[in-house]
Amino acid sequence: MKQKWSIAVVLGLWLLGSHSLSASAGGQTKPEIHYGDPGFVGTPINFACGGCGLADAIYSIAQRAKVPLKFPGVEKWAYLTQTVNFVNKPWNQALDELLGPGPLKAVWSNNQLLIVPKDAGDTERAPRSEWLPSVPPLPSTVASLAGSGRAKEADRYLREGVDYVQLGTASDALKAMTRFVWALELYEGLKFAGQQAHTLTLLGTLLDDRQNSQSALQAFQEALPLARTANNQRLEFTLSALIAEIHARDESLKAQGLEEATTTYEAIQAAIQENSTKLSRASTTLDRVPEAYAALGSAFLSAGEPKRAVECLQKALIQRASSDSGTSLETLILLSRANEQAGNKTEAQRNLEALKASLKKNPESAAACLQRVRIAKIFRRLGDAGEALKWLQEAQTFLKGANDVNLEIRVNRDLGRVYQQLGQDGEARKAFERALALSQANKDNVTAEQLQEELKKVK
């Protein structure tokens, strides 16, 4: 059965396809450590300054350390002054002392030192035990492996996790979570920063897809510095956009999300402009960042900036045009909403027509049903339960031809949630009970337990 995948799956396939895994590369060496990495000690410098500008002091430290520096928006911080006296002090320690508790931070990104404003992601992160789902321990036969053997198992678990996400059931989501956690544990032991960042990103997208946005946020925030350590600018921008999107969806954090989305968008444009002057193959890595643009579009839409949302979502849609991506459906829906809110009624209608046209390309019952389930979920997240119900009712018409019990469970479960959102508790109970009976007959205990919990919430 050909499926249209969730955000987590599409992002996972991008990660697996765009970046070679350790096993396929024949094993990875430990990355060179840079500023911000444990154990890094910079070249000692001497530098004294009384009441000079903070930006001047930062540039002076970088110059003495012979470290490339980028400081976007430096003019905004011209009012800050500082007095320092460093004698034979490692430059990274001098810089940390200079920045101290102030509003700026330094990170290592794309082989250079980057000075940016501090944000919520700079607060001390919660231990993984507080947000990471509890999963069975790593199999002892794998835990005892070393070197390339651990790397190959980690890669296998990562691929298996993506495969399980495609199946879409609660029990398969738990299996996917388990594989991702196991892969993360193995990559962490190997000190593979890039693969840790990839795995945490997949965990975060899966958690967010399962409506656990706070745990997703923790995963993204933990992945961000790892992406920087691995010099993966594309993933760095995508993670920054995903963090901004989650904040923008929170009513109390909309302003923060908007600021983060703006900063990320400007950073992407600056990086693209800078890289366009280079001829190396590495300079083309930012030509396509649809995942970042899609998340930024969603963030701007949630933050009440529909025109800016349109700009980002159009970029995402254009860059996804050549791929058979399930998230293109989501992009079209969000773009239609953004155009409508921006007063572009004709464009909004064209987006919906493009959505319907893309559905006609998939006549197979199971694929057609799954597409409509996904669309309904998008509308439900946008708060439009009425539109979500229409799509789920249309999905029901494909169930007989699909002959897929897991899909039938999913449709009825989602119907229950939508009816509950609409205040139609009687219909919600009927839908949940149908899904429960199917999951019990299918011996899917995990889904059955979750449905029993959902039934308890129905009045």
- Does the pLDDT value for residue 7 go beyond 60? no
* In contact, 116 and 105? CB cutoff 8 Å: yes
Q: How far apart are CA 453 and CA 133, in angstroms?
A: 18
Say what the pLDDT of residue 322 is.
53
**Mean pLDDT lowest among 3-17, 301-315, 347-361, 436-450:** 3-17
Q: What is the predicted pLDDT for the residue at 283?
A: 38
Distance CA 331, CA 298 (A): 9
Question: Predicted confidence band at 394 (pLDDT cuts at 50, 70, 90)?
Answer: very high
Helix (H, G, I), strand (E, B) or coil at 57: helix
Residue 354 has, within 13 A of its CA and on its CB side, a CA count of 19
User: What pLDDT, on a 0 to 100 scale, did the predictor assign at position 276?
Assistant: 61
In a domain, 132, yes or no: no
Lowest pLDDT segment from 29-38, 153-162, 223-232: 29-38
Residue 118 inside a domain? The answer is: yes
Range of the domain at 404: 378-459
User: pLDDT tens for residues 26-40?
Assistant: 444 445 677 877 678
Phi, psi of 81 (to 5 degrees): -125, 160
pLDDT in tens, 409-430: 999 999 999 999 999 999 999 9
| 79 located within any domain | yes
- The answer as to whether 450 is a domain residue is yes
The yes-or-no verdict on residue 225 having pLDDT over 80 is: yes
pLDDT of 246 higher than 80: yes
% of residues, the chain, pLDDT over 90: 43
Range scoring the smallest mean pLDDT among 44-48, 190-194, 320-324, 390-394: 320-324
Q: Round to whole Å and give the CA distance between 423 and 421.
A: 5
Total structural domains within the chain:
2
Confidence check: pLDDT of 171 > 50: yes
Domain C-terminal end among 122, 156, 176: 122
Residue 409 sits in a domain whose CATH number is 1.25.40.10
- Two tokens, residue 389: 């119900």
pLDDT digits (tens, 9 = 90+) for 102-147: 788 887 766 778 887 775 444 456 677 788 878 899 998 888 887 7
At which of 70, 95, 122 does a domain end?
122
Last residue of a domain, one of 62, 87, 122: 122
pLDDT tens digits along 313-325? 999 988 877 554 4
The C-alpha torsion from 322 through 233 and 215 to 164, rounded to 10°, is 40
Q: Is residue 188 in some structural domain?
A: no
444 located within any domain: yes
Res. 281: pLDDT tops 50: no
Q: Phi and psi dihedrals of 88, rounded to 5?
A: 50, 45
The pLDDT, as a whole number, for residue 11 is 59
Q: Is the pTM of this model over 0.95?
A: no
pLDDT at res. 121: 45
DSSP state of 1: -
The stretches of 81-168 forming alpha helices (DSSP H) are 91-99, 128-131, 140-143, 148-167
Domain assignment present for 354: no
Does residue 112 or residue 432 have the better pLDDT? 432
101 belongs to a structural domain: yes
CATH code of the domain in which 73 resides: 3.55.50.30
The pLDDT of 397-406, averaged and rounded, is 86
Alpha helices in 191-232 (DSSP H): 193-209, 213-229
Q: Which residue has the higher pLDDT, 15 or 371?
A: 371
Q: What is the mean pLDDT of residues 382-391?
A: 92
CA gap 131, 133 in Å, rounded: 6
Residue 363 has a pLDDT of: 67
Give counts: helices (H), strands (E), the chain.
Answer: 21, 5
Q: Which residue do the tokens 């400081």 mark? A: 71
Residue 36 to residues 56, 95, 108, 112, 229: CA-CA distances in angstroms? 21, 11, 7, 12, 8
Over the chain, what is the mean pLDDT? 83
